[in-house]
């Protein structure tokens, strides 16, 4: 069998947005390179529903995988790849894709294009485009091994329109050995999307001056547009925000549709984590701040004046 296999992630039985993005792109690519659009599901989730997003067949390893373990995930994925025999594998470049996918690639003895932001068909092969050197240049990546594996940054492709169809589900047996034991799981306090998958992000910098002002200015603005809160390293180091909210070279790499940077100068380390955002809005009272060189829209003004006005305006919509 040949075709494109999407490693569809889910959480608590609900498929992540990235699964739909990848299936929609896989359908476009399959029209050029040929083969079926397939999906891989590990754990208990309504696999047949992926047919509505473009999958013709779904290979599923059932069982309790709620507690993530890289070794067990790789065992399950490997069993599915053996059953599906795809020519191309697509996965999200979230924490699972960054942790478990390279292990799968090593086991398969193939190659991988990591954190691509675009995919295209060229001469019967799939080519990935990935940002390099903090997004200053892009490289086109072709994988000569088979299957060719690509991890894709979330929000790189639009969601496909659901068709209402249902996919054939093929049960796959896998011997999965977990190497870790989870003793406790704590749910995040916030209900917003994780930074790496968020479509909208509002980030604050050191100019907020305190954690109290960060909470009073940035978080209400983010809530008004349904965004996830981010922060620069300077803001995190100063204790204004938690480390898991840090965007940048030593934080999280994000790829949202909208990124609002409040009081962030635009150091290269921060740009490395958010340069590929579709629309960047910069708010800074320094007209010479480097962030304005990369912003789609810039507001040269005091963030303590601008952000509350934006919060009110968005809240009134």
- Percent of the residues in the chain that have a pLDDT greater than 90, as a whole number: 83
Residue with tokens 């995919």, as numbered in its chain: 119
| Cα three-residue angle 69-75-77, rounded to 5 degrees | 100
The pTM for the full model equals 0.88
DSSP codes of every residue in 58-94: EEEE-S---S--HHHHHHHHHHHHHHH--SEEEEE-S
**Rounded mean pLDDT, 143-161:** 94
Instruction: Indicate whether 1 pLDDT > 60.
Output: no
Specify the pLDDT at position 193. Answer: 80
Residue 64: what pLDDT? 84
Give the pLDDT score at 133: 84
At the fourth CATH level, the homologous superfamily of domain 3-171 is HUPs (3.40.50.620)
Helix (H, G, I), strand (E, B) or coil at 152: strand
317/113 Cα distance (integer angstroms): 41
107-130 CB burial, b ≥16 within 10 A, e <16: ebebbbbbbbbbbebeeeebbbeb
Q: Which two three-digit tokens encode residue 87?
A: 């020519």
Do 200-315 and 3-171 have the same topology in CATH? yes
Q: Which residues contact residue 137 at a Cβ distance below 8 angstroms, ignoring those fewer than 6 apart?
A: 131
Please give the full DSSP string across the chain, using - where no structure is assigned: --EEEEE--EETTEE-HHHHHHHHHHHHHHHHH-SEEEEEEESSS-GGGGGGGT-SEEEEE-S---S--HHHHHHHHHHHHHHH--SEEEEE-SHHHHHTHHHHHHHHT--EEEEESEEEEETTEEEEEEEETTTTEEEEEE--SSSEEEEE-TTSSPPPPP-----EEEE-----------------S--SPPTTT-SEEEEE-GGG-SHHHHHHHHHHHHHHTT-EEEE-HHHHHTTSS-GGGBBSTTSB----SEEEEES----HHHHHHHTT-SEEEEE-S-TT-GGGGT-SEEE-S-HHHHHHHHHHHHHT-
In this predicted structure, the answer to whether residue 190 has a pLDDT above a threshold of 80 is no
Tokens at 197, concatenated: 């998958």
CB count, 10 Å around CB of 98?
A: 16
Instruction: Work out the mean pLDDT of the chain and round it to a whole number.
Output: 93
Fold of domain 200-315: Rossmann fold (3.40.50)
CA distance linking residue 140 with residue 29, whole number of Å: 16
Question: Which parts of 87-155 are beta strand (E)?
Answer: 88-92, 112-116, 118-122, 125-132, 137-142, 148-152
SS3 164: coil
Q: What is the pLDDT of residues 194-224, one digit of tens each?
A: 899 999 999 999 999 999 999 999 999 999 9
Among 36-45, 125-134, 147-156, 178-187, which stretch is predicted with the lowest mean pLDDT?
178-187
> How far apart (Å, rounded) are the C-alpha atoms in residues 11 and 138?
32
Residue ranges of domains in the chain: 3-171, 200-315
């Amino acid at each position: 069998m040949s075709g494109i296999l999407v490693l569809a992630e889910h959480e608590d039985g609900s498929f992540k947005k990235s699964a739909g993005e990848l299936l929609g792109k896989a359908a476009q690519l399959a029209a050029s390179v040929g083969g079926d659009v397939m999906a891989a599901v590990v754990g208990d989730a309504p696999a047949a529903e992926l047919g509505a997003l473009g999958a013709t067949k779904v290979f599923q390893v059932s069982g309790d995988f709620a507690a993530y373990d890289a070794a067990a995930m790789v065992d399950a994925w490997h069993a599915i790849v053996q059953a599906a025999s795809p020519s191309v594998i697509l996965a999200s470049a979230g924490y699972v894709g960054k942790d478990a996918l390279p292990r799968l690639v090593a086991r398969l003895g193939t190659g991988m294009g990591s954190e691509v932001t675009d995919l295209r068909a060229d001469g019967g092969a799939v080519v990935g485009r990935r940002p390099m050197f903090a997004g200053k240049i892009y490289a086109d990546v072709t994988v000569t091994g088979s299957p060719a594996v690509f991890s894709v940054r979330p929000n790189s492709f639009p969601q496909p329109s659901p068709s209402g169809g249902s996919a054939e589900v093929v049960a796959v047996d896998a011997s999965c050995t977990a190497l870790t034991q989870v003793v406790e799981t704590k749910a995040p306090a916030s209900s917003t999307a994780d930074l790496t998958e968020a479509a909208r992000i509002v980030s604050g910098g050191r100019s907020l001056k305190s954690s109290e002002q960060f909470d009073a200015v940035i978080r209400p603005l983010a809530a008004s547009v349904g965004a996830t809160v981010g922060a620069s390293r300077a803001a995190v180091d100063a204790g204004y925000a938690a480390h898991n909210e840090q965007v940048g070279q030593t934080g999280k790499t994000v790829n949202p549709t909208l990124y609002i940077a409040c009081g962030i100068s635009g150091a290269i380390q921060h740009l490395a984590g958010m340069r590929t955002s579709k629309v960047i809005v910069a708010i800074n009272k320094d007209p010479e701040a480097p962030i304005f060189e990369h912003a789609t829209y810039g507001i040269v003004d005091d963030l303590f004046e601008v952000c509350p006005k934006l919060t009110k305006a968005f809240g009134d919509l």
